Structure 1
Amino acid sequence: MCDKNKPSVQDIAELCFEKFESLPKTGKPTENQWTILAGIVEFNRQTGSSQLVALGCGTKCIGQSKLCSQGLIVNDSHAEVLARRSFLRFLYEELKQERIFHWNSELKSYVMDEHVEFHFLSTQTPCGDACILDDGDPEEQAKRQRFDKESEIIYTGAKLISDLNYDPMRQTPGVLRTKPGRGERTLSMSCSDKIARWNVMGVQGALLDSLISKPIYFNSLNFCCDDAQLESLERAIYKRWEGRSFKHYRFQLQKPQIRIDCGIKFEFAQRPDWQPSPNGLVWSKISDDLRPYEISVNGKRQGVTKKKLNTHQAALAISKYNFFLNFLDLLKSKTLLCEMLDINLSDLDHITYSSCKDLAKEYQLAWRHIKDQYFLQWTKKPNELLNFTSNPNK
C-alpha cells in the first residue's frame, strides 16, 4: 500500500481557485465586491491523486423570522457552510455511484474507501472564536474591547449567546457564538463553532450518518488569509474542549492538521473599501445534468419568479428539503436500508424530516451527550421547522 505526499495548502488552493475561475460570471462578485471562498478536496493516499469535490462562496445569514418550516431556505450562507453542504450533495451522489463507498452486508451500512481523505480550505478565518487572539492579559483584552466599542470594529463577526447585558461582540475567547445576520439575531452558530462540531460529530450530518459505518472528518483544515492565527484556530476547533469527559466508540474529538499560508491571495478577498457580495455560490463534483453549480440569494435559487418564490422550485439543491428527497431516494432504491432502519417502504411518502434524522440513533444520542460536555449553549431551532414531509405546500 502506497501513501504518497498529501496536497499542500497551495495545491488545495489552486484546485479551488481554478474551479472558481472556470464557473460562469453570473453570481460572482462584481467590481468592488468581496466574498469568502471555501472548498473541499478529496485525496487518495494510494494513488496520490487529488480532486476538488465541493466549493462554496458567501457571507450572508438570514434572521430568525425568515426561517422556513418546509426546509426550502438555506439559513446560513457563509462560505464554510455552503462548501460543507455542497460536499453533502457530492456524498449523496457517491453513495448512488458506489465509487468511494461500498455496501457492507455484515455491517449493514456503506463503508468508505480507507485510502480516501478530505481536506478543507477557506480564504478567511472562520467567524467566531477563531478570530480572537487570547493574549492572556486581562488589561490588554479590556483595552481591545474599549477600542472595539469606540471604533465600531467587529473582530469576530459573531455574537455571544450569553451575557447579553454586556457588549455581545466582546472578545471573550473560547465561548459559543451565533452569526449576527443583517440586524436581526440569527439561530445559526458561528463557523468556528460549526467546524468544532464537525470535528467531533463528523461533517456528514444525521441523515447520512444513519447510512454509513463511520463519521467523516476533515484530515486537514487550511487557511489562506493574513489574519489567521494558529493558536486561535487550534483553540476554536479543538483545544477549548480538551479535558472534557466524553468518550464514544464512534465519535471522537479530532486533532486535524491546521495549516496557514498567508502568501496565497484570493482575488475577491475582503477589503475595507469593498462591499460584501449579496450572492452565495455552490458547486459540487457531480454530473453536469444535475446542475452542479447554483447561485443563491437570501437562501434561495437566483432567478426564480416571484410566483414560485415560496415553492419547492425555489429551493437550492443543498437545502434541507432536497437533501431529504435524496435520502428518501436512497432508501427507495435499496430496500436493505429500509430493513436496517426498520422503516416500511410505504411510510416514506409521509414520514417527516425530523423522524428521519431520529433514525440516526447513535448520532442523536452522542450529540445530546456532546452538547452537555462541549456545546451546552448550542441554539435549538423550533420543532415546527423540522416536521415537513417530501410533499411541501400540500
Structure 2
Amino acid sequence: MVLNEIKPNIVYDIAASGPPHARIYAASVTLNGKTYSAEDTTKKKAKAKVAQMILLCSVQLKDPSVKAPLMEEIMGEAEDFSKDLSEVVCSSEDFYSFETAVTDKVKALPMASVSNAEQAKNNPVFYLNRLKPGIKIEIVKEEGSPHLPIYTARVVIGDQPFEGTGSSKKQAKNEAAQAALQKAFGLERTNPPKPPSAATSSEKPTEAEFGDFIARQIESTYLEMMKNEQPSLSRYKVLAGVVMTQGPTSDGATVICVTTGSKCINGGQLSMEGEALNDCHAEVLARRGLVSYLYDQLNIFNSNPSDSIFESPSGSQNLKLKSDVLFHLYVSSAPCGDARIFTLNESLASPLEDLHPNRQGRGALRTKIESGEGTVPVNESIQTWDGILSGERLLTMSCSDKLARWNVVGIQGSLLSNLIDPIYFHTIVVGSLFHQVHLRRALIGRIEHLQGLPSPFIFSRPVLSTITTPPDRLPAKSPKNSIIWINGWPEHEIVEISKGKLLDGTPSRLSKRHFFFRFMALATTNLEYKSLVQKHVRNGNVSYNSLKKAAQAFGIAKEMLQSSFMIARLGQWVKKPLEQDSFEVPFDGSQPSDDLDRAPSPLGF
C-alpha cells in the first residue's frame, strides 16, 4: 500500500510454478532499469515481498515534506525530518534518500522474511516442494465417520515413507511433510502438535480440544453400537449424547447415553397413560437418557452410597451431585429454534457477531412442526386433548427453548426434584451450524434478567463450545426412527417417531410411565420417599401429576422462567394437554410391578 501511494503505476509480472496443490508464485517489477523479484505461496505475499525490496533499496522523494503522510504506515507518527540524522543528501540536490530511516521499520512489517526453518514450520508442504519439486503427498487412509474423520497422509522420499494424521486432509498432509522435513532434512519442529485428549489426561484441555473429545466419545460409541445394524437404521440427521467426567478435564470420562432423532410424535398418537415419547429430537432424548441414568445411581446410593455419584449433604433431605461430577451434552447440529433459525445465513458471514441484532424475531419462543422439521413462532399457548384429537396440530416447544429451560430448572425433571437437588449441564458442545452469538442468546442471553429463583435452583450458564471439524450437511430427508442407548443397557432401543413407541408397539424405557414406576419403586426402599408418596395416595392410587406438583420449588422456578419470556415479550410457553399427566399407578407400600418392562434395566428394573 505504501509503495502504491508513492509509485501508483507499478506493474507486477506474475508467474506460477509447481503442482496445483502447492503453487509457487513469482512476482517481479522493473523500475528504473532494475528488476526486483520474489517468490511465495500466494500472489499477494510475493507482490508484498517485491514491494518491500523496492522500499528498502530505491524509494526516493522529490519533496521531503510529503514523505510523512505517505510513509505513516511504516514510520508511525510523523516526525520532523529536518532533524532526522538518517536523512542523506544524494548526488542530486532535488532528491532525498530515506533508506536508512525506513529500513528498520520496513523489516518489522508482517511480510518480513524469516528463516527457512521457521517457514518450514509454518508451511511444511510448500517448503518440502521447494526442496523436492513435484513430490506428491497422498491421502492413504480415511478412518472414523463422515462427521469426525481421521485422515492419514504419506509422502515417500527415496525409499523411506513418512506419514502424518489429522482431522482434515490439509492437516494430515502438513504433518506428513513436517515429518519428512524433520527426519530427511534436519529441520526440527519447535511447535509439535498436542496429542488428542485421553480419558486419563489430567491436564485441562482448551475448549476446542474438549469439544472434539466429547464429540468423538459420542460418535465412536454410536458407531460401535450400530455396526451390525442395517444402514437404513443407523442413518441419522442429528446425533446427541451425554458424557460424564470427574472435573473439567477428560478424567474418568464415561458415555452416559447416545440418541438420534429430529422429529416429534403425531398428535393422534398421544398417550393418556404416559406410554409414548412426545419429542424424539436427539437432545431431548439425551436428557431423558441422563434421567434414566440418575435413577440407576439412586438405586446404587440406596445399597452402597460411596459407589454413587450422589451424596447426602447435612441439613438437607434431598441428595445432591458430588462436586467433581460434571455432565456434558453433545449435539451434532445447533438445536432447533432461536439458536439455529438465524444461523443458517450468518455462520460464514459473521461467525462472532449478529449482523441484525434488532431484527424482529430474535429470541422469540418457537414450536416444532408436528411430524415434520423446522419451527414456527408461538401464536397460542393452550392445547386441549379433544382439539388435538380433532385434527389440531400438536405444538412442542423448540429444542432451543427446552435447553434454556434446563439452564434454570435443571435436567432432572419435576418428579426427581422431590428427591435430588437440580443438576445442570456443565458444557454444551454443538457440531454444525454453531454461531456463538445466536447460541448464547437462545440458551442464556434472552433470560439473563431472571432473578430470585427459589433455593436450590440457580440460573446456570454452561460453557458453549463447538468442534474443529463440523459435520457435513446431511441429506434433507430424516429417518423415521430414533435410536436410544443408555450406559448399562445390553442393547439399544429403536423408536418409531410418529408413534413414540418401539417398533413392536411397546413403550420405551424412557417413557413417563416407566420413570413413574421407577420413582415408586425407589419410594418402597426409603422411608422418607415412602412417606412423600403416601401423602398423595387416593383410593389406593397415586397420580403422576400430583407428585410432579409436590416439587414446589421446581414449579416456582418453571413459572418464573415462563414469565420471564412474557416479560421480555418473547412469547408464551405452550403447555401440553393436562390429560397427559393425569394417569395413575397403584401403591400399597410394596414394590410396584411395571408391566411395561420387556427386559431388565441395568439395576434390575
CA drift of 1:337 comes to 1.5
* Cross-structure match for 2:58: none
Does residue 353 (structure 1) correspond to residue 556 (structure 2)? The answer is no
Match of 2:215 among 1, 10, 13: 13
The SS at the match of 2:288 is helix
Asked whether the 8 Å contact 2:211–2:466 carries over to 1, the reply is yes
Aligned to 1:206: 414
Distance 1:302 1:370, change over 3 A: closer
Q: CA deviation at 1:34?
A: 3.7
User: What is the distance in 2 between the residues matched to 1:111 and 1:32?
Assistant: 36
Aligned CA distance change for structure 1 residues 186 and 275 (closer, same or farther; 3 Å): same
Matched with 1:224 is 431
1:55 and 1:137, CA in 2 relative to 1: closer, same or farther beyond 3 A? closer
**Deviation, structure 1 residue 315:** 0.7
Q: Deviations along 1:188-244, whole A, 9 cap, x unmatched?
A: 1000000000011111100111101x210111110111x211100000001011234
Q: Per the alignment, do residues 344 and 61 of structure 1 end up closer, same or farther by CA in structure 2, a change over 3 Å counting? A: same
Secondary structure of the structure 1 residue equivalent to 2:397: coil
Q: How does 1:132-281 map to 2 (within 5 A)?
A: 132-133=342-343, 134-136=354-356, 172-182=361-371, 185-212=393-420, 214-225=421-432, 227-265=433-471, 270-272=473-475, 274-281=476-483
Q: What does residue 503 of structure 2 align with?
A: 303
SS of equivalent to 1:121: strand
Find 1:49's aligned residue among 252, 264, 283: 252
Matched letter for residue 17 of structure 1: E
Residue 380 (str. 1) matches residue 575 (str. 2):
yes
What corresponds to 1:150 in structure 2?
Answer: none
Seen in structure 2, the aligned counterparts of structure 1 residues 105 and 279 have a Cα distance that, compared at 3 Å, is: same
Aligned to 1:275, the other structure's residue is in SS state coil
Secondary structure of 1:59's aligned partner: coil
Larger Rg: 2
The 8 Å contact of residues 193 and 237 in structure 1, kept in 2 or not, is answered as yes
1:32 deviates by 11
Instruction: Tell me the alpha carbon deviations over residues 286-342 of structure 1, each in whole angstroms, 9 at most, x when there is no partner.
Output: 253xx5x211003444331xxxx3xxxx11000011011111111112122223x36
How many residue pairs get aligned? The number is 343
Report the Cα offset of residue 135 of structure 1: 2.1
| Number of the residue aligned with 1:113 | 322
- The letter of the residue matching 2:264 is C
1:324 and 1:61 map into 2 onto residues whose CA distance is 22
The residue type paired with residue 93 of structure 1 is D
Counterpart in the other structure of 1:144: none
Q: Sort the Cα spacing of 1:263 and 1:216 in 2 relative to 1 into closer, same or farther, 3 A.
A: same
1:149-175 Cα offsets, whole Å, 9 max, x none, are xxxxxxxxxxxxxxxxxxxxxx72100
C-alpha distance in structure 1 between counterparts of 2:317 and 2:282, whole Å: 34
C-alpha spacing 1:75/1:55, structure 2 compared with 1 (3 Å): same
Q: Tell me how far 1:257 sits from its aligned partner.
A: 0.9
> Contact between 1:294 and 1:301, CA under 8 Å: does it hold in 2?
no
Name the CA distance, whole Å, in 2 between partners of 1:377 and 1:137. 21
Q: How far apart, in 1, do the equivalents of 2:218 and 2:261 lie?
A: 14
2:561 maps to 370
Name the structure 1 match of 2:193.
none
Contact 1:28-1:279 at 8 Å conserved across structures = no
The partner residue of 1:100 within 309, 315, 321 is: 309
Q: Are the counterparts in 1 of residues 256 and 486 from structure 2 also a CA contact under 8 Å?
A: yes
Q: Report SS of the residue matched to 2:253.
A: strand
- Distance in 1 of aligned mates of 2:539 and 2:410: 26
Q: Provide, for residues 31-50 of structure 1, a one-character-per-residue CA deviation record: whole Å limited to 9, x for no partner.
A: 99542101111010299221
Q: 1:182 to 1:101 in 2, by over 3 A?
A: same
Structure 1 residues 287 and 348, CA gap change in structure 2 (3 angstroms): farther
Tell whether the 8 Å contact from 1:338 to 1:345 is kept in structure 2 after alignment: no
- After superposition, the Cα gap between the structure-2 partners of 1:263 and 1:41, relative to the gap in structure 1 and judged at 3 Å, is same
Identity of aligned residues (%): 30
In structure 2, what is the equivalent of residue 324 of structure 1? 516
Q: Partners in 2 of 1:3 and 1:34 — Cα distance? A: 33
The 8 Å contact of residues 502 and 508 in structure 2, kept in 1 or not, is answered as: no
Contact 2:453 2:557 in 1 (8 A): no
Inter-partner Cα distance in structure 1 for 2:436 and 2:484: 28
- Assess, with a 3 A threshold, how the Cα gap between structure 1 residues 284 and 32 changes in structure 2: closer, same or farther: closer
Q: What stretches of structure 1 of length at least 5 have no aligned partner? A: 142-170
TM-score, normalization by structure 2:
0.53
Q: Cα distance 1:26–1:205, how it changes in 2: closer, same or farther (>3 A)? A: farther
Q: 1:346: Cα distance to partner?
A: 6.8
Contact 2:536–2:542 (CA<8 Å) still a contact in 1? no
Distance 1:32 1:386 in 2: 32
1:294 aligned residue (493, 496, 501): 493
What SS does structure 2 have at the residue aligned with 1:271? coil
Could you say if the C-alpha distance between residues 27 and 295 of structure 1 is closer, same or farther in structure 2, counting changes exceeding 3 Å? farther
Superposition RMSD in Å = 2.9
SS in 1 for 2:232: coil
In structure 1, what residue type is equivalent to 2:511? S
The 3 A distance-change label for structure 1 pair 105 and 352 is farther
The answer for the alignment partner of 1:343 in structure 2 is 534
Contact persistence 1:218–1:256 (CA under 8 A): yes
Distance 1:232 1:348, change over 3 A: farther
Q: What is the rounded CA distance, in whole Å, between the counterparts of 1:75 and 1:26 in structure 2?
A: 28
Q: Secondary structure at the match of 1:276?
A: coil
- CA 1:357–1:106 in structure 2 vs 1: closer, same or farther (change >3 Å)? same
State the distance in 2 between where 1:5 and 1:387 align. 47
Q: Is the 8 A contact 1:61 1:76 kept in 2?
A: yes
Output the amino acid matched with 1:204. Q
Going from structure 1 to structure 2, the CA distance change for 1:28 and 1:119 (only over 3 Å counts) comes to farther
